[in-house]
Amino acid sequence: MTILVIQFLLIAAVVAGAGVVLARAADAIAEATGLGRLLVGSIGLAAATSLPELSVDIAAVQAGHVDLAAGDLLGSSLMNLLILAGIDICRRNGRKMLSREAASHALSATLAIAVTALAGIAILTVGKLPAVTILGVGGWSWALLISYLLGARMLFIDQRISARLAAESVPERSGSVGMPAAAFLVAAAVLLIAGPRLAAVAADLAERSGLGGTFVGTSLVAVTTSLPELVASLAAVRLGAVDLAIGNVFGSNAFNMIMFVPLDAVYPGSLFAAVSPTHAVTAFAVIVATAITVLGQLYHADRRLAVIEPDALLVILVIGGALALVFQLS
């Protein structure tokens, strides 16, 4: 048991180091290309920091740990929101919840809410509706993929318009994108290689602890695979790239849901029919916490509270309550 914990911590350290490199490279890419931190964070950085979930969960599904995989994807979204709430509490800047481009972040957050809602509905209804399979992938998985692509297109168009307006008043950016892109790809590859080992270690911990795959996937594995988001977001905030951090969280939560598609493709049968209905609790908790975060970004207040902001506190309470409920139901 001790050896497993040490292995877990060592791999987590590797993942964390790669997350720092990703954040710095993504910020440089955003500046060099003029795409903006929000777009690079919501799509590019979000996809890269979600690679551990992809590799871990494919390995978990192939090993028969379906609930571990589903719990990781949905639990990781909870942990990402917890990261955002924690940063907001620690960052006393007199502003509303972290955001400087609240309306644009609300767009990416709404996409995350939409695809998470689809995943929750799929978990609850897949066994009660006629099965639809196209190219070995279930109908609900296709719905998730199409919804994400349409939402990402809307986000891209919105940010392209914002970049065009900004270019009219800001001098043209200069700088090479080659080195940042190379660093980004190397760090992403490290995450992709380090991820699969986490599945084996987490599965052993779940078996030996007796907690079960649903709870361990939602908590232990989700915390670890969210380390890239945590480290990348903290690094982005230290760089002053707050929009990169927020975009990374919302973008990762949306990207997590379309990873049900490759999992469905490698699973022999209907993936959503095989997972525990308890995962729907996590999905709806993600929706509630995301909605609270958006409200925290959009509301206008004369000053922040001296001790703690109610939006960040509510997000933490929702996440804690969801984990407690999942533990009771597992």
309 conformational bin, left if phi > 0, alpha if psi -120 to 50, beta if neither: beta
CA 138 to the chain's CA centroid: 23
Q: Which residues of the chain have pLDDT under 50?
A: 101, 168, 302, 305-308
Q: 234, 88 in Cβ contact below 8 A?
A: no
- pLDDT for the residue 146: 94
- pLDDT for the residue 113: 94
- pLDDT for the residue 327: 78
Whose tokens are 């998470």? That residue is 116
Cβ of 317: how many Cβ atoms within 10 Å? 13
- pLDDT for the residue 307: 44
Tell the burial category of 45 from Cβ atoms under 10 Å away from its Cβ (0-12, 13-18, 19+). buried
Whose tokens are 């799929």? That residue is 122
- pLDDT for the residue 98: 56
- pLDDT for the residue 94: 52
Whose tokens are 């006629």? That residue is 130
Helix pair 178-209, 66-90: axis angle to 10 deg: 120
- pLDDT for the residue 260: 92
Domains of the chain with CATH codes: 2-329 (1.20.1420.30)
Q: Is the pTM of this model over 0.75?
A: yes
SS3 134: strand
- pLDDT for the residue 119: 93
| Helical ranges in 239-270 per DSSP H | 242-258, 260-266
